[in-house]
Amino acid sequence: KAGVTQTPRYLIKTRGQQVTLSCSPISGHRSVSWYQQTPGQGLQFLFEYFSETQRNKGNFPGRFSGRQFSNSRSEMNVSTLELGDSALYLCASSPVQVANTGELFFGEGSRLTVL
């Protein structure tokens, strides 16, 4: 059974640009959550999507957005990139809404560097 797949794995952008990251969950999983991981702040929750609907959102500015498609694949977008957006972005899938299980299966992450 394939795991959670994130693309691209590494990318470099400059301030002001925008970026789109992609996540394919484990087959059959309907929930996709996104996290930002930095050395100083640790893992911070961005949002969760379930059945194409955003279920929860963390405390991030509106520049961070996402969506989920009917096949459960998800994308997140960051517009007007800032230096502080440099981080590892982790996607995690779950068979049901996270609130009902708590078990997250993480992808390898997309490492974003903003210059």
Partner 1 sequence: QKEVEQNSGPLSVPEGAIASLNCTYSDRGSQSFFWYRQYSGKSPELIMSIYSNGDKEDGRFTAQLNKASQYVSLLIRDSQPSDSATYLCAVMIRNDMRFGAGTRLTVKP
Chain contacts with partner 1 (rule: CB under 8 A): 33, 35, 41-45, 48, 55-56, 58, 90, 97-99, 102-104, 106-109
Q: Indicate the residue among 81 and 91 with the shorter CB distance to partner 1.
A: 91
**Residue in 27, 15, 18, 23 with CA at minimum distance from that of residue 82:** 15
Closest approach of partner 1 to the CB of residue 67, in Å: 19
Q: Indicate the residue among 58 and 95 with the shorter CB distance to partner 1.
A: 58
Give Cα separations from 109 to 80, 92, 99, 106 (angstroms). 21, 9, 22, 8
Closest approach of partner 1 to the CB of residue 68, in Å: 17
| Residues in contact with 44: Cβ distance below 8 Å, sequence separation at least 6, in sequence order | 35, 36, 37, 38, 58, 59, 60
Q: Indicate the residue among 45 and 67 with the shorter CB distance to partner 1.
A: 45
